Amino acid sequence: MPGNRPALVQEEAPPGAVARLVSVPMPAAAQAAQATAAARPEGRRSNAGGRRATAWLRLISPVAVLVGWQLVSQLGLVSEQTLPSPTQVWSTAVLLVTRNSPAYGTLQGNLIVSLERVAIGFAVGASIGLLLAVIAGLSRLGENAVDPVMQMLRTLPLFGLIPVFIVWFGIDDTPKIILIAIGSAIPLYLNAFAGIRNVDPRLHELSRVLQLSRRELITKIVLPGALPQILVGTRQSLGVAWLALVVAEQVNTNAGLGFMMSQATQFLSLDVIIVALLVYCVLGLLTDWLVRIAERRALSWRRSFITT
């Protein structure tokens, strides 16, 4: 991205600049393709290199979309009001970061408020979801008590709860955080519950022979055994958490990414909305990536099975 910056500053880029934008990714892609081709026959040791080359290949289509978007705006096929160009969006983003506007505040200020809501909501929701999954997963009684309620909540339209929550909890942060918490508790509960029930029953038997305490059973057998599923649930939960944040923040807020978007709607500033949407995208990808890293570390006992 930084390499593209000079072109973005110009209002009307000369055709050469466009041509350069198009031609830049091509040699990289060609190199990557060559690298993969060369890496393949060598087999195992060069496998990691091959994967890196594939990662480069995956960048081609997003870059192409970006370039296409810029072309469409620049050639005047779509008006700036309908779809601001990437360069326009970029300069808006820069402005939002560097200037504290009365209408929006700063991008980073809103981001921090949103992050805090998601963090609290997700932490509360995930803990509750996991706790309920353990209760339901370990006993028939617990299942009968917890599961029907969770299945009911699952089918409830989450965002339909917003008006109810406003009546119950007012218009400050509480209803937003509760909405995020409920949204993230459910996928985690469903996955963790299934994961716990799938733990090898022979290991339960082993824990009885070894006279493990209830606590040891949970921390050493049940939760690690259900971890692959719990991590799948975590990724889903984070997805729902961001979604719930966007919706919740557009109602009665004075800070946050959603607030920025609802303000922008009133001013018909599509560029600001697109900036906010892109920030959501990046945050979603970032959290997903973090969970994947955690996944790779926590499940190394499985990976060793593959690599040795």
- Which chain residues interact with another protein by CB under 8 A? 202-203, 205-212, 216, 220-221, 224-225, 227, 300-302, 304-305, 308
State the residue for tokens 């005047």. Answer: 76
Please report how close the Cβ of residue 271 comes to another protein at its closest, in angstroms.
Answer: 49
CB of 142 to another protein, least distance (A): 21
Report residue 147: phi and psi, to 5°.
-60, -45
Closest distance between another protein and the C-beta of residue 307, in Å? 9
State which residue, 80 or 216, has the beta carbon closest to another protein. Answer: 216
| C-alpha span between 229 and 235 (Å, rounded) | 10
CB of 130 to another protein, least distance (A): 17
Report the C-alpha gap between 210 and 56 in whole angstroms. 50
Nearer to another protein among residue 199 and residue 244 (C-beta): 199
CB-nearer residue toward another protein: 80 or 200 = 200
Nearer to another protein by C-beta: 100 or 219?
219
- Of 120, 136, 130, nearest to 179 by C-alpha is 120
Q: How far apart are CA 271 and CA 62, in angstroms?
A: 19
Farthest CA pair distance, the chain: 77
Q: 196, 226 in Cβ contact below 8 A?
A: yes
Q: Using alpha carbons only, how large is the chain's radius of gyration in Å? A: 24
Task: Give 28 or 138: the residue with its C-beta nearer to another protein.
Answer: 138
Angle between helix axes 173-197 and 223-248 (nearest 10 degrees) is 150
The nearest distance, CB 138 to another protein, in angstroms, is: 17
